[in-house]
Structures are given as C-alpha cells and as structure tokens.
C-alpha cells in the first residue's frame, strides 16, 4: 500500500487541475508550474510552496487568511478572550471584502479600497500579534503561541492581496472546487494504482471545471468523447471545458443511448460539424 497526494491548482480563468504525485516535495510544484510561470501563487501555509516561490524571480507568494484563522480557533478553549479579539480583527477584513463585492469594485478601485480600509486593519492586527507575544507568559507549545507565530512568520505573504486586486485573501474558492476528492476518498478508499490516481485526477479536473463554468458534466463528456476522435490534435485545448463552452456548448453532440432508458436509442441525436477556430 502506497500513499500519494493530489495537488490541486486553480487558475485565474476558473479552471481546476488535480495533479497526482507520490511525493509532497517541492520538486512536483516545479515540475507542474516550471520556471516559465509568472504571477502570483496563492496557497495555504505548506512550506514547499514558499520555497518554490522564493526561488522564482517572477512569482509573488500570497497565503491564506482562513488557514491562519484556524490556528486561532484551535487556541480558543484556553484563551477565549484573546482569540475572540483575533477573530474579530480578521472578520473586519472580510467585511471589507463584502463591501467591495456589494459595490462592484474591480481593478484599481478595488485595490484603493483595500489600501484605504483593509491595510490599516492588517497593520494593526500584526502589531497586536507582536504585542501578545511581548507580554510573555506563553510557552512555545501553547496553541496561541503557534497561532501568533504562524501569522507573523507569513506577514509578507498575507499582505499581498492588499496591492493586487486579482488576489483573494484566502483559498476558499480552491477548497470548494477540490471537495470531490476528499469526499470521494471516504467512498472509494483507494485508487489501487498510481495510473488510476492519475486518471481520477484527470476526470475530476474536467468535472470540477465544468461546474465552475455552469456546464453539465454529462453533456460535456458525451460531446467530447465523441468529438475528440475527429478534432485536430493541435487544437485540443478547445476541448477543455472553458473553451468548449464558447465553441460547442450551444449544439453539443448527443448520446446514442438515453441514459434514463438504456434499452432505447436517444431521440435527440444531433451531430455537429467540427468548427476549427483560427
């Protein structure tokens, strides 16, 4: 029995990929993203992401406020008042994000709103964290010590979202998209082979991306599994869910068999001429 890991990646065009690896090391990140990646990498606190980003000149590393918040929640039983204050301070950031969404702010206006309203909150929060440690009385093993050190050691990456309006303050959007993997693991338990795990990652990547683009996965898969045999290999990207929706969703290929009645043929077989995008 071997243990492997799925590494989920969520792109800025609302596309998800679950890559499988038998390692949790930085080498897999380098293999997937390579040195050609340029932009902002948003992640949880796993150290391999930070090491990858630190080694790349054109990669900014942003980390997740929700993961930091969870550390404080773990300390709530022993330090209810202090943790309540920490959570209230973090909640102020999310109220600002709700205001941004309600006002429909984007681009520079969104950035300026964060600088005007959230940057002071963030600065005060980190100073408050330093003050808590400076008071003394906390042993290294205390959950509150761990929570304070967790966020303070990631101060630079937790402030990236303030300057970049395209960066979210957390990875909640990714966690929602990757939910089928941990939920499914409870049902099927094993992938049996590494090849099986790779194939599971592929099909879940397609299904999850379909859902992000309001595509019915069944409709997409029925079409693509027929279309792929006659589609130019050089244009295979057009069969990914996001681009498929633009080119083929209005008139998809249908199944020969009605899935509700496997003993009958479907009545809506609609072959579609292949369109080559130029």
- What tens digit of pLDDT does each residue of 143-186 get? 999 999 999 999 999 999 999 999 999 999 888 877 877 777 77
Q: What's the maximum distance between 2 C-alpha atoms anywhere in the chain?
A: 75
Report the C-alpha gap between 238 and 247 in whole angstroms: 8
Query: Which residues are bridge partners to 6 per DSSP?
Result: 20
26-40, 183-197, 228-242: range with lowest mean pLDDT: 183-197
Report the C-alpha gap between 238 and 235 in whole angstroms: 6
Contact 244, 275 (CB under 8 A): no
143: its two tokens: 């959950």
The yes-or-no verdict on residue 82 having pLDDT over 60 is: yes
**Measuring CA to CA, which residue among 239, 221, 184 is closest to residue 18?**
184
Instruction: Measure Cα distances from 126 to 60, 121, 184, 198, 256 in Å.
Output: 20, 9, 38, 41, 61
Contact 225, 204 (CB under 8 A): no
pLDDT of residue 73: 98
For residues 138 and 274, the model is more confident at 138
CB 242: neighbour CB atoms within 10 A? 17
The 10 Å CB-count burial string (b at 16+, else e) for 38-68 is eebbbbebeebbbebbeebeebbbbbbbebb
Mean pLDDT of the chain: 89
The yes-or-no verdict on residue 74 having pLDDT over 60 is: yes
pLDDT of residue 260: 64
Is this prediction's pTM over 0.75? yes
| Cβ neighbours for 60, distance < 8 A, ≥ 6 positions apart | 39, 40, 41, 53, 160, 164
């Amino acid at each position: 029995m071997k243990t492997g890991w799925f590494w989920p990646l969520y792109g800025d065009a609302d596309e998800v990929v679950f890559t499988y690896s038998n390692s949790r090391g930085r080498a897999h990140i380098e293999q997937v993203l390579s040195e050609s990646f340029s932009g902002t990498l948003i992640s949880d606190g796993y150290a391999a992401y930070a090491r990858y980003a630190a080694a790349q000149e054109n990669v900014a590393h942003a980390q997740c406020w929700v993961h930091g918040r969870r550390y404080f929640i773990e300390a709530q039983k022993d330090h209810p008042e202090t943790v309540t204050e920490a959570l209230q301070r973090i909640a102020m950031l999310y109220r600002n994000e709700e205001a941004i969404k309600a006002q429909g702010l984007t681009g520079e206006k969104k950035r300026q709103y964060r600088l005007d309203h959230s940057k002071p909150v963030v600065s005060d929060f980190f100073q408050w964290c330093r003050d808590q440690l400076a008071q003394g009385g906390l042993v290294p093993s205390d959950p509150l010590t761990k929570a304070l050190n967790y966020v303070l050691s990631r101060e630079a990456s937790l402030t990236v979202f303030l300057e970049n309006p395209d960066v979210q303050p957390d990875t909640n959007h990714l966690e929602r998209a990757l939910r089928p993997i941990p939920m499914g693991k409870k049902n099927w338990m094993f992938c049996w082979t590494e090849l099986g795990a790779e194939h599971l990652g592929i099909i879940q990547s397609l299904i999850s991306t379909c859902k992000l683009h309001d595509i019915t996965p069944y409709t997409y898969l029925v079409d693509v599994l027929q279309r792929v045999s006659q589609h130019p290999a050089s244009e295979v990207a057009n069969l990914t869910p996001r681009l498929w929706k633009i080119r083929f969703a209005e008139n998809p290929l249908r199944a020969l068999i009605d899935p509700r009645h496997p003993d009958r043929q479907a009545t809506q077989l609609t072959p579609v001429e292949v369109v080559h995008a130029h």
